[in-house]
Structure 1
């Protein structure tokens, strides 16, 4: 009997119509790409979070002997050409270009370059999800990029945890971002899709 095929991103069992990545993981990657681009995207919003106190910080503290930095350096770095946002995305575009599946364009403003990178990656996403040997690495790195931007802009929220019931009866706490979970009671392992398909745990009276 052939071994069960599993998603290379979350280890969930694949349907016959899925090649190497499950549909929920592919959709999550698509949503992360979409969140970065455009005039209202996370990359564009970094500039509004550039100055100290422009995110969610409290009142300025007086009495310091040195003046505060005029900008938040971690945000400034995230906005640069070789920073942790545009740099990796264009790196993946160059990688996909070697497969004939993306077009490198490093001209224009940084925002235009970001939008182009996201656009060409989204256009070829179905191919990459199905065939690129390092798609799991791409999905993981993109997740880190988006989380970094959400943290910098103050839009990162703690994922809502829901209780689901393992086959052994133990309650597991998962989120929509959960990639895999192991039951501490019976050691059963669930990928993203499998975990979200588990029955909801019953609420216990206080």
Structure 2
């Protein structure tokens, strides 16, 4: 393998055969660290359950109906089946791939979040090198972090812009886009390569 499966950028000689380049592996590590700990995104979800708390949305008053007792978005992320369960499912997969015994979970969900993040970070160098679905893990993790940021009143989604592939296809990207593949000509662009593509012309209104 000569390209990163996450950003499609060329791998350095010492990375050949790996699933991901060092910058993409580092980005995954930052996303994992962002979720764990007493000040992490997962812990902040608990402070965002009450309507009107840390949602980042407008406050609406004078409603004729009583508001829900909790906000559903952060609740679904914080509850079992949300962030922690998704990360645990990935860790189970990694353990099974390596032939390790089934991981154990102790304590409440916050403690389990910290445990699974720690273990995933320990195994991250191996996964970035050898796990065949590392690109899928990277995308799902980034999506979880984005959902948590949105639910806790974090940054708004980055603005998407259109760039032109030489084949004529307009690709929608952001400044944070790790990489993209053109669905028409199958050309692959890494982060820096896609940002060097010319801006797509806006179509004038009829």
TM-score range, shorter chain: 0.7 to 0.9
1:95 to 93, 96, 105: 93
Superposed CA deviations along residues 96-116 of structure 1, whole A, max 9, x for unmatched, are 111146872322010000000
Could you say if the C-alpha distance between residues 112 and 60 of structure 1 is closer, same or farther in structure 2, counting changes exceeding 3 Å?
A: same
1:63, distance to aligned residue in structure 2 (A):
4.1
- In structure 2, the residue matched to 1:14 is 11
Provide TM-score, normalisation by structure 2.
0.79
Deviation larger for 156-165 or 112-121: 156-165
1:9, distance to aligned residue in structure 2 (A):
1.3
Structure 1 runs of 4+ with >6 Å offset: 160-167
- In structure 1, the residue matched to 2:180 is 180
Gaps of 5+ in 2: 200-206
Q: Distance in 2 between matches of 1:103 and 1:119?
A: 16
The residue correspondences of 1:1-206 to structure 2 (distance < 5 A) are 5-18=2-15, 19-54=18-53, 55-64=55-64, 66-82=65-81, 84-98=82-96, 99-100=98-99, 104-159=103-158, 174-180=174-180, 189-195=188-194, 198=196
Gaps of 5+ in 1: 202-206
Superposed CA deviations along residues 98-137 of structure 1, whole A, max 9, x for unmatched, are 1146872322010000000000000110000000111111
Could you say if the C-alpha distance between residues 144 and 63 of structure 1 is closer, same or farther in structure 2, counting changes exceeding 3 Å?
A: closer
How many equivalent residue pairs?
192
1:158, distance to aligned residue in structure 2 (A):
3.5
- Give the secondary-structure state (helix, strand or coil) at the position aligned to 1:126: helix
Q: Distance in 2 between matches of 1:24 and 1:158?
A: 21
Provide TM-score, normalisation by structure 1.
0.79
CA RMSD in angstroms, aligned pairs only: 3.1
- 8 A contact 2:48–2:151 mirrored in 1: yes
